[in-house]
Chain A
Amino acid sequence: QSALTQPASVSGSPGQSITISCTGTSSDVGSYNYVYWYQQHPGKAPKLMISDVSNRPSGVSNRFSGSKSGNTASLTISGLQADDEADYYCSSYTSSRTYVFGSGTKVTVL
């Protein structure tokens, strides 16, 4: 199972919106609404930001939103803030009853 494809880096200025893509196949992202997004600050454990494509867990800012079209899922961060600077990973359930992570995207706040 190959990793899902994410851009290596995305950047934006404070207050702007950015979108991170996550491209899989018809065996994972394209077939299931079990797509998750995680934020990871340096030296910390990952934190769940979006579950089931577009659901925000309790306590996660509504500036984070998720969507999916075909084999590609997306995470949008609106009103970019300094603390949003982190690594972001997508993950999907697969037809093999396993999970796969994306390659990761480093978000830089300019």
Chain B
Amino acid sequence: QVQLVQSGAEVKKPGASVKVSCRASGYTFTGYYIHWVRQAPGQGLEWMGWINPNSGDSKYAQKFQGRVSITRDTSINTAYMELIRLKSDDTAIYYCAKGEGRDSWGQGTLVTVSS
């Protein structure tokens, strides 16, 4: 069965960076895009970007341009989302999701940004 397993919770200080991983199993990793979506406490879903694991091509929401980088390592079927220059309002649960329709989701990774 398809599984996306994300790395554990992180606590960071403002100005720092965070890198969240998403390990895929149960399907051909290079056959489907991986998307990253975040959800601040009590708020809605916010699309951050996608990566084509086959080509490495990526695309980001304008809001995150210059601060986010989505990469992958096909040897271990893992995608990564790195967010730099963290601010307190980056505190959120970060999800990875598979495919154009995002038909499978990781369990989420809570990133807390606090001084």
Contact = CB atoms under 8 A, between A and B. Distances in A.
A109 B47 CA distance: 28
A46 interface: yes
B19 interface: no
Contacts of A40: 45
Given A97-B59, A98-B61, A99-B35, A46 B46 contact: no
Nearest to B104: A48
A98 to B, nearest CB: 6
B61 A51 contact: no
Interface in A44-70: 45-48, 51-52, 57
B100 to A, nearest CB: 7
A45 B105 contact: yes
Nearest to A40: B45
A102 B102 CA distance: 15
Among B45, B61, B103, B108, chain A packs the most CB atoms within 10 A around the CB of: B45
A38 B101 CA distance: 10
A98 B47 contact: yes
A38 B46 CA distance: 13
A87 B63 CA distance: 24
Given A45-B106, A98-B59, A51 B101 contact: yes
Contacts of A89: 44-45
Contacts of A47: 105
B47 A99 contact: yes
A73 to B, nearest CB: 14
B62 interface: yes
B44 A1 contact: no
A18 interface: no
A103 B45 CA distance: 8
B95 interface: yes
Interface of B: 35, 37, 44-47, 49-50, 59-63, 95, 97, 100-103, 105-108
